[in-house]
Structure formats: structure tokens, C-alpha cells
Structure 1
Amino acid sequence: MRNPTGRQLRFGAELRKLRERAGLSSTEAGQLLGIKQAQVSNLEAGRVGVSPERMRTMATHYDCPDTGLVDALCDMTGERSRGWWEEYREILPTALLDLAELEHYATRLRTAVTVHIPGLFQTTDYAREIFRQGVPDLSPPDIEHRVSFRVKRQAVLFRNPPTPQQVIIHEAALRMRFGGTRVTRNQLTHLLEMNQREHVAIHVIPFAAGTFAGSGQSVYYAEGAVPQLDTVNLDQSHGPVFLDAEAQLSKYRVTLDRLEAAALTPEESQNFIHTILKDL
């Protein structure tokens, strides 16, 4: 049996939450559903799939009144196929593959960064320079694998329909000259071009804004079909960390809302980036 993907694990975790909210043990749930306790455990571990019909039966037995959540979970039942990211499974850490899968199915993406340009908006030269600074050092082939993976992730920006993106970037990230002036100039030009796309909104927080919520950390928020299926990704030096507890989701939604309030509008940000570009 193949290891479940991050999305399959999340689906199983949501099934477990529904059962626990109903006050049922896995044995009791199995008796209601007419299956063995081990099968309930396998479902909740994401190791096996379930049909939409069985999903709705489970929701009924678990007394779940949230039809939006049930519909969203039913939509997830048929997603046992593997995406393009599977070609990297033996090459890159599993968490990076889970990140690509998360982006692929997200209904909207929000990100806030203070030092780096967000990965989905990085040019190849900029991304390559970032990976060159990794610890421990990556070999040239490993760097190129990560660059190509990052570029393929950017497909969510250009598919039909594209995934809506809200990007909040601190001025510090715009002024960091990763790879030198030429790379930085091309990167800022790329940001300006992307900000012209209808589904992209780039907000800049200038130094003049002073203190702001969430300073010093990067936040990547992927919205699901319903808020309960949202996911937060915190980019750590050892790799992505995924959070989906309701209290955590609420905290980061508020943080991003406050960051947006502190930032310039997309139009003002466009002019601001133009000004920095002229200084290069």
C-alpha cells in the first residue's frame, strides 16, 4: 500500500474529527457503518479511499449538519490519483510534494513574506540563488531539481481558471539583492507584470509603515472549498510545516487581514515597486 499524500491524510483527519465530535469510538463507528474497526482506522489514516455515497452515510451516522463541509469532503473522495509532483517523489522531500498538492487544490492562496519573494512569483535565477544559500549545501543537480519543481508549481497562476492570489511583501524583500542587480531587476519586473494579472493582488508594506502584525515570519495560507479545510504553511529552514487546527487557522486569518490593512493597495504597490526598480 502506497503512503498517503498530504491531502489524503487531511481527508482522513477530517473523518476522525467528525467521528470524535459525534462521541463515537472507532469500534462503535464501524458497527454503525457495517465495517471493521481496522477499516475505520485505515480510512482515518488516509490509507484507503471511500466513495461519495459512503462519505455521506458516515456524515449521517456522525450527525454532521454542515452540508458545505460534507459536500467538500465528498469532492475529495475521488482524488486518489497522483499529480505531476509525483515525478519528484524520490528526489525531493515529501513535504514539498504535499505543498504542491495543497496549491493545486486550493481555491485561493494568501501569502505574506518579509525577506524573500514568494516562491510562486520567483524567477528561475532568483530561485536558484535562494537554493544556493541553503544549509546544508545542495549539489548542483539538487538545486536544478528544486528550481524546476518551483517553476512547475507556478502553473496554478496560469491555468484556466487560475487560482486567485493575494501577496503581501515587505519592502525589505524587494530591496534584498539576491543574485545581484541584474537578477533583482528582472525579479521586480516580473512582480510588476504579475500584478497586472486580474487574479493577482500584490500589496507592499513599506518601511514607513512601522510595526505590523506577524512581522518576522512568512505565512502561506491555502483556502479550501470550505474554511474548515483551509491550511497554513509556515516555511521553516527544515522544510514546510502545515497547520490546520481551527484556532490556528483563525489566528492566521486575522494576522493576514491585519497585514493587508497595513500594506499599500495593489495600485500603490505597483508604483512603489517601480520606484525601487528605478533605483537599481
Structure 2
Amino acid sequence: MTEVLETTSGSSPRTRMNKRILTLAATGIGAAGIAFVVAGAIVFGDFGIAPDFSARLAAPSWAHWFGTDQFGHDMFARTVHGLNVSLWVGLIAATLSAFIALGLSVFATTCGRWADMLVSFLVDATMGLPHLVLLILISFALGGGTHAVIVAVATTHWPRLTRVLRAEILQLRHADFIVVSRRLGKSWWYIGRHHFLPHLLPQLLVGLVLLFPHAILHEAGLTFIGFGLEPTKPAIGVLLADSMRYLTAGNWWLGLYPGLSLLLLVLCFDAIGNGLRLLQDPRQAHR
């Protein structure tokens, strides 16, 4: 009888608890990985920045875990520095993009039908354009570099989060406490600041974390094709671009380890985003 009930309900309480524990464990591992990158960049300091021509193009070993590049730089140290650069660029760009999405969603739902139509047009127009081409055009128009990449990523990653936040606000508009607040004479601006914003913070936090992987990958992609960060920075895109000249010579470690490290960093943010989604959504938390 118990087996029948468990089959009917979809999963047993033990299975749901195990799934929750695994998700939280993945979240903790992801957070630890990100903390390792930040702490590693601080600990390494200038190590891996200065060249050492006596150890150029050395294969991976105990002395150099990820090998060395054509200038004798330790690739493990440069990879950690590159991931740290990607973290900060992604943090600034994703935060700006999240605030753009929040502002536009509140503007669309509190300033009348014309505002909603305007925001919907901006979302559709931005999502209708080729994403990578738009990133390249913005970065190229701003002259390239760190600031250009941040602006390009921040101004192209807000549409999907704007749709999510706008849909959440439209559901809240019909809630009883919103109706009562309107009947008491409160303006939509007051309701937006005191009622909508507190309810949007969990979705905004999850959306911000999930924007990180896109921001990091697009920053690396722009840098790889020459429209991103300066070549003097130890960015992952720079490391991958430099490795293309040496891969055919058998120096496989120059591209493999930075690429895998970037993938692991993205997976860390994906794990954290899924964990936050599980914690903030009571329906997911009890499945």
C-alpha cells in the first residue's frame, strides 16, 4: 500500500529530501569554487603575471599544474587571474542588467498602458536582434576594453528577466492587499516601492545569479574574437585566443585548462542559481 501511494504521489518523502540535499550540496560546492577563485587571485598576487622565459611552453607538471605559455607564465595562476577578471566583469554587468530589468518591469506595470507597450516593444526588439552581433556592435562602437564589454553585456541581457519580473508584478496587481492599497488612495508609484519591490527581490536575486553565466561567457567570447578586454589582461578570452597559435604544435594545455575552468565556473553559478530557486520557491522546496 505504501509503495502504491509513493508511486501515485510521484516520489517518496525520502526521495524529495535526497533531491533537496543534493541541490543544496551542489550549491555549496559552487559557492566554494567561486570563493576559491577570488581567494586564489589574492594569494597569487603578481605570480603568473611576470614572464619566465626559462620555463616557456612547459608541459603540465607538479611545478606547473596547467603548464606554461609562450612567455613562461604559469597557466594555473593566469587561469585563476582570468577567472577572477571574468567574475568582476560579470558581477558588474549582470548587476546593471538586473537593475535595468527591475526598473523597466516596474515602469511597465505602474505607468499605464503606453509604458507597458513601450517596454514590450523594447524587449521584443532587443530579443529579435542577433545577440552576438549586437554585443560586437556595442563593444566596437565604444572602442573595446573593459568598460565597453560591461556596457555591451549589461544592455543586452535584461529582456528575459524583464519579462519574468513583469509577469510577477501583473499577478501581484490583482492581490487583495494591492486592491485595498489602491482603494485607500495609494499611487502606483507608492505601491511599486512598498509592495512590488519586496516581492520581487527573490526573483531578482535568482535572475541576477543566472545572468552571471551568460555575462561571463559573452565576455570571454567578445575577448576571444578581439572585441573585448585588453590583450594585456589575463582574461580567459585572451588565454584562449593566444592558445590558438600553439595548439597545432602540440601545446594542448594552453587551451584545454582555461576552457575547462571557464566551464566549471559557469556550472558553479548554475548550481547556485538552482539552489536559490529551490530555497525561495516553497512549491519547489517540498517536491
TM-score (norm. length: structure 2): 0.27
Structure with more of its chain in helix, by fraction = 2
Name the one with the larger strand percent.
1
Of structures 1 and 2, the one with the larger relative CO (CA 8 A, separation 6+) is: 2
Rg: which structure is higher? 2
TM norm structure 1: 0.28
